[in-house]
Amino acid sequence: MCGIVGYIGENPSKEFIIDGLKKLEYRGYDSAGIMLYTDKAYLKKAKGKIYNLENKLSEKKLNNAKIGIGHTRWATHGIPSFSNSHPHKSNSGDLYIVHNGIIENYESIKEILIKKGYKFYSDTDTEVLINLIEEVKKVNKVKLGKALKIALNSVIGAFAIAVFDIKNPHEIVVAKLGSPLAIGIENKNFYIGSDPSPFLNFTKRCLYLNDNEMAILSMKKGLILRNFITDSVINQKVENLKFEIEQVEKGGYKHFMLKEIFEQPKNIIDAIRGRILDDYKIKFSSIESHIDKFKNANRLIFISCGTSWHASLLGEYYFEELARIPAGVEYASEFRYRNPIINENDVIIPVSQSGETADTLAAIKLAKQFNPFLFGICNVVGSSISRETDSGVYIHAGPEIGVASTKAFTCQSLIMLMLSLDIGYRLGKVNDEKYKQIITEIKKLSRYAKKVLEEFDNIKKIAKKYKNAKNFLYLGRGYNFPIALEGALKLKEISYIHAEGYPAAEMKHGPIALIDKNMPVVVIATKKGSYHKIVSNVMEIKARGGKVIAVVTKGDTEIKKIADDIIEIPDVEELVAPIIANIPLQLLSYYIADFKKCEIDQPRNLAKSVTVE
C-alpha cells in the first residue's frame, strides 16, 4: 500500500519520479505528491490519480531539479485529501518525507511533540514521524542520518521511507522495516522505488533493503548502508535484476489485467521450466533437500490472504489427495490473533504473490516461535516472505501489476499441483502411472490455457448479457470449489457487483433462497468428480427461475441442455481442470467490469500489496 519513488543524481528528476509513480500506482491511488529540489524545495500535491499531480508541474524551474521524492497514497490514517497527501514536511520546513507503512505509536509521539510546541496540519502518522526526526535532530545536534537512526528506534510499526533535508541537499536517506524498498544504482545516480519497476529503464543494478536497514544516498560519499538498530555498517549485496521493462508495461492491451490474463500460457511455461525434466520427472531442489520435513509432517498449514488463500485451498485438496498429508488453510489475519496450536513437526506454507502482505508476514513471525518448518510459495523474488521462510519455491509468474490477481493464481495453483505430486511420488503415495499421467497433462497446460483464451468472444457476449445484474452466485464442488470462490472475488473486486462463491451442495442450506430470474449463477461443472451431483444442482437453480452460466468440459451434452449460457474448456485431467476452468471466469469478470466502465487495474479502495493490517 502506497508507493514511494525518489531520485538523487546528475539528471533531471521530475519525469523519472512522475513515470515511476505511475508504475507504482497499483500500490495506491487516493492521492499523489512530489517534492522537487532546485534552489529550494517545491512541494506539489493532488487528490486522486497521478495525472492530477502532473497537471500541477508546469513550472519551468521544476525541470532542473536533480533531487526529488514522490508518493502515491493508499489512505490509512486520514481521508484521501490534499493535506493528508505525501510528501510531508517538518515544522521548520527543512525536512521532507515520503512513507509507506504505518507508525502504530504515532499518537503518543504526537502528544509529546504537541507539548513541545509542534503543530500538525494533517491526520497522518507520517507527519508525526518527520517532526520526531526533526526534534531528535535539533536536540542531539546531529545530521539527518543520525537523527533518523535515533528516531526509528523509538517508533513501532512498519515503514519504507525516503527523507530529504534542505540543509544538506546532497543526500537522501532511506530506511525500511516491514514495507519494501529498492534502490537502483547507476554511477552517481540513485533511484528509489517501492519496487524496481520505476528504475528498470535506467539500471538493473538493485539493492533491496532488508528490515532494520537504512541507506544514505550521498552525491559526495556514495551509498552507505547501516543497520539502524545495531548501528553497524553492512556490506551491500547489489543484484542484477533479470526482468525487463516490457514486463511491467501494457504491451498494447487496454488494461494490465487483460494483458496478464492473456499472458498465462507463457507464465505456465515459465513456472514449469526446469522443474519437469525430459524423463517426465518433477524436480524441485527445495523439496529434494527437505523431503524429510514433509515425510515427518504432522500436518501442513497454508497461511495466506485473498486470492492466495483460494490457491492455498486448492493446495489443501491437492496435498491431501496426492501426498496424503493432512492439510489445512488459514486466513493469515485470523491465524495471527488466534493463539493457534503449532508444533515443530508442522510444515507452515505461507502463500503470497507480493511476498509483502502484512498479515501473512505477521502469521509467519508468530509461527516461528514454535519452530516449525516454513516453506514459502511467492511470486516476487527477494520479497520479505521469501526471506522469512526456511525454504520454498517461486511461482515465476513475472510482475503482476493489475490489482486483481490473475496469472499469480494460475501459477500458484500449478505449483501446488506440482509440489503435491512431487512429494506424493517421493513418499510412495502416487504410483508411476498416475504420476506420468498428471505430468503429461501439466505439460499440455499452456496449450489448454491458450485454447480457453480463444473463447474470449463468447465470454464477452455472456458478459454483455449479464453486466447489469446486481448479484451473482458462483458454485463449484471438490477442486472447483476454490475456483467458485476465486471467480466471485474477481467479479466483486473489479465490477463492484456483489458475488458469492459457495460449495454447490451448500446452496440448499441457505443461498437457494436468493435465486430468482435476476440472479445469474455461474456453475463450474467440469466432467468427473461430482459432475452428476452438479447437474442436480443446476436443475434446482433452473427450477427456481435462476439463470445458469456453466463452465463445462468440451463435448458436454447434459448441462448444455439446461444451462442458459455455456463456456467450454478442453477435456483435461480432473486435477488440472480447476486451473483451466478459472481462466474464463477471469475473462468474464474483466469484460463485465469493462462494459461497466470500471477502473479495472485500480479498483476503488484496493491496493496491490497489502502491507498494513
Q: What gap in Å lies between CA 307 and CA 352, rounded to an integer?
A: 9
Q: Which residue lies nearer to ligand F6R by CB, 144 or 485?
A: 485
| Three-state DSSP state, 63 | helix
Q: Is 446 in the site for ligand F6R (CB under 6 A)?
A: no
The torsion of the CA quartet 238, 27, 47, 52, rounded to 10 degrees, works out to 70
Q: Which residue lies nearer to ligand F6R by CB, 548 or 610?
A: 610
Q: Is 478 in the site for ligand F6R (CB under 6 A)?
A: no
- Which of the stretches 119-127, 263-271, 354-362, 367-375 binds ligand F6R when contact is defined by CB under 6 A? 354-362
**296-335 residues near ligand F6R, rule: CB under 6 A:** 305-308
Q: What gap in Å lies between CA 475 and CA 485, rounded to an integer?
A: 8
Q: Which residue lies nearer to ligand F6R by CB, 147 or 397?
A: 397
Helical axes 306-318 vs 407-426, angle rounded to 10°: 30
Among 31, 194, 360, 420, binds ligand F6R (CB under 6 A): 360
533 has catalytic annotation: no
Q: Is 405 in the site for ligand F6R (CB under 6 A)?
A: yes
* Least spacing, CB of residue 573 vs ligand F6R, in Å: 26
* Least spacing, CB of residue 427 vs ligand F6R, in Å: 28
| Three-state DSSP state, 160 | strand
Q: Is 353 in the site for ligand F6R (CB under 6 A)?
A: yes
Q: What gap in Å lies between CA 207 and CA 353, rounded to an integer?
A: 20
* Least spacing, CB of residue 299 vs ligand F6R, in Å: 22
Return the residue nearest ligand F6R (CB atom).
Answer: 306
Q: Which residue lies nearer to ligand F6R by CB, 14 or 336?
A: 336
The grid cell for 437 is 499421467
* Least spacing, CB of residue 32 vs ligand F6R, in Å: 22
Q: Which residue lies nearer to ligand F6R by CB, 567 or 610?
A: 610
Q: Is 413 in the site for ligand F6R (CB under 6 A)?
A: no
* Residue of 2, 305, 378, 598 marked catalytic: 2
* Least spacing, CB of residue 308 vs ligand F6R, in Å: 4
Residue type, 462: I
* Residue of 23, 45, 149, 608 marked catalytic: 608
378 has catalytic annotation: no
Q: What is the largest CA-CA distance in the chain?
A: 81
| Three-state DSSP state, 521 | strand
Label each residue of 343-375 as H, E or C. CCCCEEEEEECCCCCHHHHHHHHHHHCCCCEEE
Q: What gap in Å lies between CA 151 and CA 582, rounded to an integer?
A: 48
The grid cell for 420 is 503435491
Q: Which residue lies nearer to ligand F6R by CB, 70 or 399?
A: 399
Q: Is 357 in the site for ligand F6R (CB under 6 A)?
A: yes
Q: Tell me: cis bond preceding 87? Omega within 30 of 0 counts.
A: yes
* Least spacing, CB of residue 332 vs ligand F6R, in Å: 8
Q: What gap in Å lies between CA 498 and CA 491, rounded to an integer?
A: 8
Q: Is 352 in the site for ligand F6R (CB under 6 A)?
A: yes
* Least spacing, CB of residue 360 vs ligand F6R, in Å: 5
Q: Which residue lies nearer to ligand F6R by CB, 261 or 610?
A: 610
Give me the 456-475 binding string for ligand F6R, x by CB under 6 A, dash otherwise.
Answer: --------------------
**486-515 residues near ligand F6R, rule: CB under 6 A:** 489, 493
Label each residue of 411-475 as H, E or C. HHHHHHHHHHHHHHHHCCCCCHHHHHHHHHHHHHHHHHHHHHHCCHHHHHHHHHHHCCCCEEEEE
Query: 400 burial class (0-12, 13-18, 19+ CB within 10 angstroms)?
Result: buried
- Count of other CB atoms within 10 angstroms of residue 256: 24
Q: What gap in Å lies between CA 194 and CA 46, rounded to an integer?
A: 20
Among 162, 404, 521, 551, binds ligand F6R (CB under 6 A): 404
Q: Residues interacting with ligand F6R, by CB under 6 A?
A: 305-308, 352-354, 357, 360, 404-405, 489, 493, 609-610
By annotation, the residues acting in catalysis are 2, 608
